[in-house]
Structure 1
Amino acid sequence: MASATVPETVEAKKKRNVKYVVTCAVLASTTSIVLGYDVAVMSGASLYIKEEMKITDVQLEMLMGIISLCSPLGSFAAGRTSDWIGRRYTVVFTGGIFFAAALLMGFAINYPMLMVGQFVAGVGGGYALTIAPVYTAEISPASARGLLTSFLELSVNLGVLLGYVSNYAFAHLPLRLGWRIMLGISAAPSILVALMVFSMPESPRWLVMKGRLADARAVLDKTSDTSEEVAERLADIKAAAGIPADLDGDVVPVPGRDRGEEKRVWKELIFSPTPAMRRILLSAILIHFLNQASGIDSVVLYTPRVFMSAGITDSDRLLGATCAVGVVKLLTIFVATFLLDRVGRRPLLLTSTGGMIVSLVGLGVGLTVVGHHPDAKITWAIALCIVSNLAFVSFFSIGLGPIAFVYTSEIFPLRVRALGGAISVATNRFTGGVVSMTFLSMSKAITIGGSFFLYASIAAIAWVPFFTYLPETRGRTLEEMGKLFGMADDAGLEADCEAAKVEVEMPTKLSKS
């Protein structure tokens, strides 16, 4: 009788814990909805802002790109904030930043005020893209980490769709009112998201770093299937945090993050990394740089302009086609969401990049043909532009989009994870900012078709290091990533061990005192 009931109890707990972890991952990723909205809504709002404020294309590029260019400030600040007040309250703080940005842009009376609002939104974007994947990766079991961490990209794409829909919905309002409502309406979900996040638990890894073992154990009990798994995960986290295995209790003494420790983190990751750590850092920088250098922000921000260049001039059709891009981008992210932990990161990444290359070439060809025949309506070229645009955002969302954040949230060791995530997001957003702020000027210099041929070349170059340099991480625990990148066989392992030894001795001395 007993043997028949035990599996049912374990299965019931497993289902309950799966729901709990999914809920936490969804809540952590909701701030990214506001980020996706702020980026996409500007694509349509910019048409009306330019008309009312009479700004130049260069000023428009600055306005479109500053949200990405300023995100590195938020990403580095998020790394420090998340280690200081915790992952959960950092998500709440992110919602507050987006709320302030929405108010500034919604009530903007001139171009400088709009720029300040975009600047604040950019800082919020850096926070959102740094903290959401770190929190989700730290709370997720290894078997579902790819699925759950990809919720970030799902949320961004949902925000992009809502931004395009907002453009369509408010386009017919008076000029002075329409674009202000488009930009300011995101204040409401920003506050709602911040309030909802209070129901999330804190990351168990952050709790262990603060010596709160009982609290960490309670969270792990809600996110693990069995008590044995709880004990195993807690032991792994303690080891990664430098807490001796025999040191136990509800609260244990651990060394604080003093200036010396912060310098050690920078030294270990940036100034004198071991070969394995260097490979981890370069892998993160590489995937995030190429994520943006292949032109996704140009497509998202300038979709109306691309379709106008393709020959679609009617405003309703133009915004309708833009909404179609948002729908396709959102739907295709579900493919990655359900395949990341089944197929793996590398197959999806390579397939995605290959499809992006073909799509960008098609877009370049279509736009070039249309550009050479401005007085003729070449139906096949217009159709090629639309299909290629939809295909590009689809292939991006299937692989390179979500995998960039999934991959970098899981490969950094615990002690450098916050800084590593900040550097990754800073690379992503800075590159995106440069791409956004040069698209119009580059299109004038080499034509809009030539711009997409350039992006296709970058994507083709990206495929090679993706194939040769990035290892598969599917199914690995966060504590196993060092071995995957060669730390166990690294000539610099002795330095890692020495650093860990110092971390182990410090709490021991504190406990004795």
Structure 2
Amino acid sequence: MNTEKKIPSGFIYFFGSFGGILFGYDIGVMTGALPFLQHDWALQNNATIVGWITSAVMFGAIFGGALAGQLADKLGRRKMILISSIIFAIGSLLSSFAPHDGQYYLIIVRIFLGLAVGAASALVPAYMSEMAPANLRGRLTGINQTMIVSGMLLSYIMDYLLKGLPEQIAWRSMLGLAAVPAVILFFGVLRLPESPRFLVKAGKLDEARTVLSYIRKDASTIDDEVKSIQETAKEEVSAAKKSSWATLFNGKYRYLVIAGVGVAAFQQFQGANAIFYYIPLIVEKATGNSASSALLWPIVQGVLLVVGSLVFLWIAEKFNRRTLLMIGGGVMGLSFILPAIINSLVPNMNPMMIVVFLSIYVAFYSFTWAPLTWVLVGEVFPLAIRGRASGLASSFNWIGSFLVGLLFPVMTASMSQEAVFAIFGVICILGVIFVKTCVPETRGRTLEEIEEQGTKGRKE
């Protein structure tokens, strides 16, 4: 790679976060593909297989996040993003060529695809946080969330446009088209530089200065930043060599690891992906109309997510992270709990009311927990354990996503949708309590300041 040629900072930030498009598309695409796949393979009454096909990507992502986090510390963030894009393209194409009634083939291929999805979820926030200056880190890392929800909206639109095809061609086309953004990512990342923090750790100080010259407006601060990163790296290089999974939970790092991993886990156990995966089926159960005719609703949810992500980019550096998480979690919890309360008081309420409350949930989720989870994961972990800890946080996030995707169809087959969402509502409230008691404030602080603050166990 030619490090002498100037690379525009906008190009770096765009393709640095473009990996979000990949797992955004794959999170969203099954929403529209599932009704056609169910009918094509006669899976309407097999909630377990439906859950596994939907959640197989998340199962693979559990391991992809952890593996990528460790390998990124050895090979670099950029190289691992390139590898992930290749795996994603291959997995997408293999999914589209699944044999008829090949439920187990599709599950296995989607687990393989999940390795790349999980890797992207761990690598992109780490790369963006290490490239961004402290005063813009929340906003620039939040671009990752804009990419994710843009990928979801893109998949919803493609699902809607392809719904008129014969069902066996429709769902295969929806899944196979995920290879397109993977190819775009691969060629974009070929021009990206490596993270300056990784370069400093590798002893490549001149390359780190060159990369910083692309993304810092004031060149006079570059030497000081390299020196600051270098001092931190020197202090922790011996600890990094000796670090293990046990290191994450020793007295020095435990507080920060619990904070980052806990927020990542709560983001999924709060139930957002139950909406994103199954909104056509939710509308079908509420109204009695066929799920394949309800594909406009995912687009509505996708628009809310994109708008919310843009709102976050505007407010990211205006409000504390913890404040936004607690406000968002509170409204999200009420949006899940109120339909159950109203339904118990007014049994004959309009069945679409639950969809309205879900839209309120999505709106608040989109500019609070959705982007801030990845901002915090990128900010809160010390350099000595960042790759491993980010991978662990990503894995816990995907464990939650996997369990929600797997269990939601089973739960709704045995209880009312209102009761299922009320359970998620309680988890949202528990998430607010967790943020209040266990998560440090990170806005406007350098990664080194956050480490110093966090290892002393202070939230404010």
One fold, TM greater than 0.5?
yes
CA apart distance, 1:137: 0.5
1:35 aligns with 2:23: yes
Which of 354, 359, 362 does residue 335 from structure 2 map onto?
359
CA apart distance, 1:361: 2.1
Give the 5 Å matches for 1:13-412: 20-55=8-43, 56-109=46-99, 110-242=102-234, 262-270=241-249, 273-274=250-251, 276-311=252-287, 313=289, 318-364=294-340, 380-382=350-352, 384-412=353-381
SS of equivalent residue, structure 2 residue 231: helix
List per-residue Cα deviations over 1:302-325 (Å, max 9, x = no partner): 111111122161567511122111
Contact 2:283 2:291 in 1 (8 A): no
CA apart distance, 1:60: 0.6
Change (3 A) 1:413 1:328: same
Mapped to 2, the partners of 1:303 and 1:421 lie a distance apart of 30
Letter in 2 for 1:137: S
Change (3 A) 1:488 1:348: closer
Letter in 2 for 1:26: F
Change (3 A) 1:427 1:140: same
CA apart distance, 1:215: 0.5
Contact 2:57 2:110 in 1 (8 A): yes
Change (3 A) 1:480 1:450: same
Q: 1:448 corresponds to which residue?
A: 417
Change (3 A) 1:448 1:63: same
Contact 2:354 2:418 in 1 (8 A): no
Mapped to 2, the partners of 1:457 and 1:157 lie a distance apart of 25
Contact 2:35 2:292 in 1 (8 A): no
Mapped to 2, the partners of 1:206 and 1:486 lie a distance apart of 22
Contact 1:96 1:194 in 2 (8 A): yes
CA apart distance, 1:200: 1.2
List per-residue Cα deviations over 1:381-435 (Å, max 9, x = no partner): 41x2232121111111110111111001111111110001000000000111011
CA apart distance, 1:267: 3.9
SS of equivalent residue, structure 1 residue 461: helix
Letter in 1 for 2:283: F
Change (3 A) 1:149 1:312: farther
Unaligned runs of 5+ in 1: 1-16, 245-253, 490-513
Change (3 A) 1:168 1:206: same
Which of 474, 480, 494 does residue 449 from structure 2 map onto?
480
Mapped to 1, the partners of 2:263 and 2:328 lie a distance apart of 13
TM-score (norm 1): 0.83
Contact 1:356 1:459 in 2 (8 A): yes
Mapped to 1, the partners of 2:159 and 2:105 lie a distance apart of 21
List per-residue Cα deviations over 1:36-85 (Å, max 9, x = no partner): 11121111211111111123211011111111122121111111221222
Contact 1:205 1:237 in 2 (8 A): yes
CA apart distance, 1:184: 0.3
SS of equivalent residue, structure 2 residue 190: helix
CA apart distance, 1:261: 5.4
Change (3 A) 1:277 1:402: same
SS of equivalent residue, structure 2 residue 203: coil
Change (3 A) 1:92 1:479: same
SS of equivalent residue, structure 2 residue 332: helix
TM-score (norm 2): 0.92
SS of equivalent residue, structure 2 residue 444: coil
Which of 419, 423, 426 does residue 392 from structure 2 map onto?
423
CA apart distance, 1:86: 1.3
SS of equivalent residue, structure 1 residue 427: helix
CA apart distance, 1:117: 2.2
CA apart distance, 1:98: 0.8
CA apart distance, 1:185: 1.0
Moved more, 38-47 or 357-366: 357-366
The percent of aligned pairs where both chains have the same amino acid is 26
Mapped to 2, the partners of 1:262 and 1:305 lie a distance apart of 49
Mapped to 2, the partners of 1:127 and 1:397 lie a distance apart of 22
CA apart distance, 1:363: 4.3
Mapped to 2, the partners of 1:269 and 1:174 lie a distance apart of 51
Letter in 1 for 2:401: G
SS of equivalent residue, structure 2 residue 420: helix
Change (3 A) 1:290 1:243: closer
Mapped to 1, the partners of 2:31 and 2:113 lie a distance apart of 15
Contact 1:336 1:348 in 2 (8 A): no
Mapped to 1, the partners of 2:244 and 2:456 lie a distance apart of 16
Mapped to 2, the partners of 1:324 and 1:312 lie a distance apart of 19
List per-residue Cα deviations over 1:135-190 (Å, max 9, x = no partner): 00011100100001111111111111111112211111012211100100111221
Q: Which runs of 4+ in 1 moved over 3 A?
A: 19-22, 260-263, 314-317, 362-370, 486-489
Mapped to 1, the partners of 2:296 and 2:217 lie a distance apart of 46
Mapped to 2, the partners of 1:359 and 1:218 lie a distance apart of 48
SS of equivalent residue, structure 1 residue 485: helix
Mapped to 2, the partners of 1:488 and 1:317 lie a distance apart of 52
Mapped to 2, the partners of 1:112 and 1:482 lie a distance apart of 45
SS of equivalent residue, structure 1 residue 341: coil
Mapped to 2, the partners of 1:368 and 1:147 lie a distance apart of 42
- CA RMSD in angstroms comes to 2.3
Q: 1:462 corresponds to which residue?
A: 431
Larger Rg: 1
